[in-house]
Amino acid sequence: MQQRLRDTWARVFLMGLLLVVIALPSQTFAQPGCRNGVLSLGDGSEGIRDLNGCLAYLEDPDQNLSFEEVRNLPLGKFNRHYEGVLNFGYTESAYWTRLDIGTRDLKKPADWMLELALPLVDDVRLYVVRDGHLVEERGAGYYDNWRDRDLAVPNPTFRLTMQPDAPTTIFLRVTNKNTFRLPITLWPRDEYIAKVAVDEVVRGILLGAILAILAYNLFVAVSVREPSNIYYLLYLVSAVVFTATEQVHGIQLFDERPLLLSKEYLHFHIIFTWFFGLLFARALLETRQRSPDLDKVLMVCMHAVVATFVMALFMPYSVSMEWIVVASILLSSILIVVSYLSWRHYNPAARAHFFAWTAALIGFGIYGFTVIGYLPLNTFTSYTPQFGITAQVILFSFALADRIKQVQGDALAWNKKALANLRRYQSLFDNVIEGVFQMSPERRFVTVNPAMAELLGYPNRHELLQTNPDVLDTCIADDVLRRLVVDQLERTGTVK
């Protein structure tokens, strides 16, 4: 019954998640025409997530190009981008982007917001050229003061005032030692504020769900004190710290960024998350006790994580992150296979663990296909990693519930077995023809069988226990023999 109830709640959650996805505004708006590489804006233009065909980029490998040098380069020196999100992986280069905007259809000045959806970006410099003159130069980045930003939001955002019939060129210079993606979008001011509100609601729901599960499992871990619950709690803590650091969510509430949530330690957050995740998998799946071969696989993975931690202390940050990203995909696949084998062969509780890692991998997979351009960039695809992680931790809770149910079932089976053995012993004790008894250190009867009571001349054992005579005086009439028995009991504790 409990299993059916949990399955029902799982289906309700997944259906609810699907409804939320459907209800979220897709925000894949009709894009104004990009004529000959120039983006045309008008009074009725809507938010633009897809700047493909309008956006051009230039690599600066030595980071020594000045704005004037880039500005004077012919457009042919730039590479036109046509599909997906600009993605350069991990690189030491700086990148310049160029966006030409035509405002012939504007009737009056309009405020627009240019967003780079990359909260961990090191530095972004904005240059606005209008009618051939540099009219604005601003900057934002991970290390800048949030109070100096146009909006105190995680993603670097710039307010642009578009003038009617005034051709405008926007240059961005971006440097970043994390994964180098450039998901650049352009929004009317009011529409961007509405979009940020939706983003904050989604972030709040997902992070709030993880924190609620963390609080619940803290109570469970304190109450149950099972290793699997403790490892899961540590996994949740590491995942929350990683998510808060990677999303830069809530950091603006602090006067200074907490050292624990600094992006310099992001690769260590991932390593600790994997370490505790593997410990949790090993405890939940009971590989050490029930499947030595699978346990060896998990132990190899754990040793690899420890080795990665040691190497990360000496390797450059970008190299560590590249290796960790590749290793994460590999570890996720291994855990899916190990969970499936455990589920199919010996551990029913591994089923939820299998689906949990599958959900996480699907979430990151959808986001990966979005980044390379196979899927549209919208509210859902932007947050599929967070959706996957949230689904994962919820399914982990189901796995732990199955584990607790399994432990309770095993304990109940052992109790039944012990009770059956006790009944067999009691039957033997009551029906044996020899006198059998148990004596206290004070030489009084504790238990006796009916045959013993009959040998001592009592009608039943209850009267013998009620009379409560001295055992040795009653059973051994010879004083010398009684003293020998007492001496031997005092010396060795047994009599033969």
Cα–Cα distance, 283 to 290 (Å, whole number)? 11
Cβ(270)–Cβ(324) under 8 Å? Answer: yes
Q: Which two tokens stand for residue 96?
A: 């310049």
Residue 22, CA distances (Å) to 13, 25, 50, 380, 394 in order: 14, 8, 21, 9, 21
Q: Which two tokens stand for residue 154?
A: 């995680």
pLDDT of residue 340: 92
Say what angle helices 317-345 and 350-371 make with each other, to 10 degrees: 140
Cα–Cα distance, 50 to 185 (Å, whole number)? 7
Whether the predicted pLDDT of 445 surpasses 60? yes
Lowest pLDDT segment from 1-15, 68-82, 247-261, 472-486 = 1-15
Residue 98 backbone zone (phi > 0: left; psi -120 to 50: alpha; other: beta): beta
Please, which pLDDT band fits residue 436 given cuts at 50, 70 and 90?
confident
- Select from 171, 169, 191, 195 the least CA-distant residue to 182: 171
Q: Which two tokens stand for residue 149?
A: 């930003």
Q: Which two tokens stand for residue 340?
A: 């499936």
Please, which pLDDT band fits residue 19 given cuts at 50, 70 and 90?
very low
pLDDT in tens, 153-178: 888 899 998 888 888 999 999 998 87
Residue 460, CA distances (Å) to 353, 424, 451 in order: 59, 21, 9
Report the amino acid identity of residue 424: R
Please report where in the chains the tokens 């031997």 appear, as a residue: 488
Whether the predicted pLDDT of 307 surpasses 90? yes
Residue range 350-358: mean pLDDT, rounded: 88
pLDDT of residue 250: 66
Tally of helices (H runs) and strands (E runs) in the chain: 15, 15
Residue range 388-396: mean pLDDT, rounded: 84
Cα–Cα distance, 297 to 294 (Å, whole number)? 5
Q: Which two tokens stand for residue 112?
A: 């627009």
Whether the predicted pLDDT of 33 surpasses 80? no
- Select from 394, 368, 395 the least CA-distant residue to 381: 368
Cβ(163)–Cβ(109) under 8 Å? Answer: yes
Lowest pLDDT segment from 53-57, 263-267, 438-442 = 438-442
Residue range 191-218: mean pLDDT, rounded: 83
Q: Where are the alpha helices (DSSP H) in 24-81?
A: 67-71
Residue 224, CA distances (Å) to 229, 299, 350, 401 in order: 8, 25, 19, 11
Lowest pLDDT segment from 203-217, 218-232, 246-260 = 246-260
φ and ψ at residue 466, rounded to 5 degrees:
-70, -40
Cβ(114)–Cβ(203) under 8 Å? Answer: no
pLDDT of residue 432: 79
Please, which pLDDT band fits residue 89 given cuts at 50, 70 and 90?
confident
Please report where in the chains the tokens 């399914």 appear, as a residue: 395
Q: Which two tokens stand for residue 113?
A: 């917001």
- 168-175/157-162 β-pairing: unpaired
Can you say whether the dihedral through the CA atoms of 143, 148, 154, 157 is positive or negative?
negative
Q: Where are the alpha helices (DSSP H) in 53-94?
A: 67-71
Q: SS3 breakdown of the chain: % helix, strand, coil, rounded to 5?
A: 55, 15, 25
φ and ψ at residue 92, rounded to 5 degrees:
-95, -5
Whether the predicted pLDDT of 16 surpasses 80? no
Cβ(456)–Cβ(470) under 8 Å? Answer: no
pLDDT of residue 22: 38
Q: Hey, is 196 helix, strand or coil?
A: helix
Please, which pLDDT band fits residue 260 given cuts at 50, 70 and 90?
confident
- 123-130/133-140 β-pairing: antiparallel
**Dihedral angle at the C-alpha atoms of 112, 117, 123, 126, nearest 10 degrees?**
-20
Please, which pLDDT band fits residue 300 given cuts at 50, 70 and 90?
very high
Q: Where are the alpha helices (DSSP H) in 24-140?
A: 67-71
pLDDT of residue 488: 80
pLDDT in tens, 317-341: 888 888 888 888 899 899 999 999 9
Whether the predicted pLDDT of 52 surpasses 70? yes
Cα–Cα distance, 131 to 271 (Å, whole number)? 51
Burial of 249 (0-12, 13-18, 19+ CB in 10 A): buried
**Average pLDDT of the chain, as a whole number:** 81
pLDDT of residue 14: 47
pTM of the model: 0.72
